[in-house]
Amino acid sequence: MKNSLLLVSFITIFSFACHHSRKPEKEEAVVDTPVYAPAMDTVPSVVEDSTVTVSADTIVIDTVKLIGKWLQPVTGKDNEWQGMELKKNRKAIAINMYSLVYEKWELQHDTLLLWNHAEGVKSSDSTRTIDTVIIRDLTDTSLVLFPVNAAEGYLEKYRKETGGEKVKSRK
């Protein structure tokens, strides 16, 4: 029993030393336990019998690509667009959403935070709120967001307004 315990300890120390001697491609956390509850933004993968490697399920966001006007079609209204403008100074403006006033924005890893409040609406819940959305995809011309309080699979798709002209395609 003591010999097997010593052997397991030696293998664990040896694998730990080897693991830290290489430079990891991604940021990783190693947990030596078979019972593990991953955080919401992590994807566990079993490496050995009792070792779980956890890597963040996030994408790297280029903040510069977020700057600009992001529009989506208004449901049920042809040729009408709504969205937001994200400015360099972290100010945000709601576009064609008359009761919603964006104040500022912040990026934390792959999560976009939008501070806002309702204006001109009689409601007991018209206080300031922070919309929290996860950026699923970002290119020079498109932005796909998942609101954290939305149903699984729901996505909001935006197109970037370029050259002073509104996006014409609704696809």
Q: Quick check: helix, strand or coil at residue 139?
A: coil
Q: Residues 80-98: what's their mean pLDDT?
A: 95
pLDDT at 122 over 60: yes
Q: Is the dihedral of CA 105, 106, 111, 117 positive or negative?
A: negative
Comparing C-alpha atoms, which of 132, 151, 145, 156 is closest to residue 72? 156
What per-residue confidence (pLDDT) applies to 21?
Answer: 45
Determine the residue type at 8. V
**Confidence band, pLDDT 50/70/90 cuts, at residue 78:** confident
Give 84's strand partners.
70, 94
The 10 Å CB-count burial string (b at 16+, else e) for 142-170 is: ebebbeeeeeeeeeeebbbbeeeeebeee
Q: Residues 150-165: what's their mean pLDDT?
A: 87
Q: Residues 98-121: what's their mean pLDDT?
A: 91
Q: Give the mean pLDDT of the chain.
A: 74
What per-residue confidence (pLDDT) applies to 119?
Answer: 84
Query: Which segments within 109-152 are labelled E, that is strand?
Result: 111-118, 129-138, 142-147
Percentage of the residues of the chain whose pLDDT score is greater than 70: 57
pLDDT at 145 over 80: yes
Higher pLDDT, 140 or 59: 140
pTM of the model: 0.60
Determine the residue type at 149. N
Q: Residues 141-156: what's their mean pLDDT?
A: 94
Distances (CA, A) of 161 to 27, 39, 143, 169: 35, 36, 11, 11
Contacts of 45 (CB under 8 A, 6+ apart): 52, 53, 55
Tell me the range of 55-59, 71-75, 161-165 where mean pLDDT is highest: 71-75
Q: Residues 118-125: what's their mean pLDDT?
A: 70
Distance of alpha carbon 16 from alpha carbon 82, whole angstroms: 52
Q: Residues 99-117: what's their mean pLDDT?
A: 94
Contact 142, 158 (CB under 8 A): yes
Distance of alpha carbon 30 from alpha carbon 19, whole angstroms: 10
